Amino acid sequence: MRTSTRLILLLTVMVSAVVAVTSFVSLRQREVALDTAMRNELRAHALTLQIALEENYGDGRITDAQRLIDRLRENTRIYGVVLFDQQARVVMLTNPLIPEEVRNPPELNRVLTTGQAVESVNHVNGQDVFSVIMPIRVGTGLRGAFEISQQVSSVKNDIARARRNWVVATLIIIFIIFGVVIVVMRRGLSHPIQELLGGAAALGQGDLDYRVIVPKGRNEFSQLAREFNRMADHLAAQRRAAARKAEERLALERDLRHSERLAMVGRLAAGVAHEMGVPLNVIDARAGQLLERPEAPLETRQRNLTIIRAQVERITRIVRQLLNLARSYNLRRQPVDLPSLISNTLEQIDAAATREGVEVELICSEQIVVDADPDFLGQVLLNVLVNGIHAMPSGGRLRIECAAAAAEKDARRFAAVRVSDTGVGITPEHLDHIFDPFYTTREVGHGTGLGLTVARRIVEEHGGWIEAANNAGGGATFTIYLPQPEELPGSLAAQPDQEKCVAQ
DSSP secondary structure string for all residues of 293-316: -TTS-HHHHHHHHHHHHHHHHHHH
Q: Assign a CATH topology to domain 331-483.
A: Heat Shock Protein 90 (3.30.565)
Cβ atoms < 10 Å from Cβ of 478:
24
Spatial neighbors of 376 by CB under 8 A, at least 6 apart, are: 329, 331, 458, 461, 462
Query: Mapping DSSP to helix (H, G, I), strand (E, B) and coil, where does residue 400 land?
Result: strand
Domain with CATH 3.30.450.20 in the chain: 3-159
pLDDT band at 438 (very low <50, low <70, confident <90, very high): low
- Answer yes or no: CATH 2.60.120.10 is held by domain 3-159: no
Tell me how far CA of residue 263 lies from CA of 140, 273, 274, in angstroms: 143, 15, 16
Burial of 407: CB neighbours in 10 Å, binned 0-12, 13-18, 19+: middle
Nearest to 143 by CA among 55, 80, 73, 66: 55
Residue 211 carries which side chain, given as an amino acid letter? Answer: R
* Model confidence at 423: pLDDT above 70: yes
pTM of the shown model: 0.44
Alpha-carbon distance of 77 to 66, in angstroms, equals 19
- The overall average pLDDT reported for the chain is 80
**Are the beta carbons of 127 and 151 closer than 8 angstroms?**
yes
Most confident of 57-71, 155-169, 258-272, 482-496: 155-169
d(CA 117, CA 193): 72
Q: Predicted confidence band at 500 (pLDDT cuts at 50, 70, 90)? A: very low
| In the chain, ranges of CATH 3.30.565.10 domains | 331-483
Average pLDDT over residues 86-95: 79
The contacts of residue 353 (CB under 8 Å, 6+ apart) are 359, 360, 389, 398, 503
Strand ranges (DSSP E) for 139-258? Answer: 141-151
Per-residue pLDDT reduced to its tens digit, 51-82: 888 887 777 776 677 777 777 767 777 778 88
Residue 419 reports pLDDT greater than 90 = yes
Which is nearest to 80 in space by CA: 100, 54, 50? 100
b/e code 365-379 from CB counts within 10 Å (16+ = b):
eebbbbbbbbebbbb
Of 182 and 377, more confident:
377
β-strand partners of 138: 141
**DSSP code of residue 497:** S
Q: How many CA atoms lie within 13 A of 223 on its CB side?
A: 3
> How far apart (Å, rounded) are the C-alpha atoms in residues 72 and 171?
42
Strand 141-151 relative to strand 80-84, pairing: antiparallel
Select the highest-mean-pLDDT range: 73-87, 169-183, 215-229, 244-258: 244-258
**Per-residue model confidence as pLDDT tens digits over 113-141:** 888 899 888 777 777 888 899 898 887 78
pLDDT of the residue at 281: 82
CB-based contact 111:136 (threshold 8 Å):
no
- The answer to whether the CB of 81 falls within 8 A of the CB of 72 is yes
331 has pLDDT over 90: no
CA–CA separation, 300 and 37 (whole Å): 153
**In DSSP terms, which residues pair with 82 in a beta bridge?**
93, 147
Residue 359 binned pLDDT confidence (cut-offs 50, 70, 90)? very high
Q: What percent of the chain has pLDDT over 90?
A: 11
CA distance 238 to 260: 31
CA dihedral sign, ordered 36, 40, 46, 47? positive
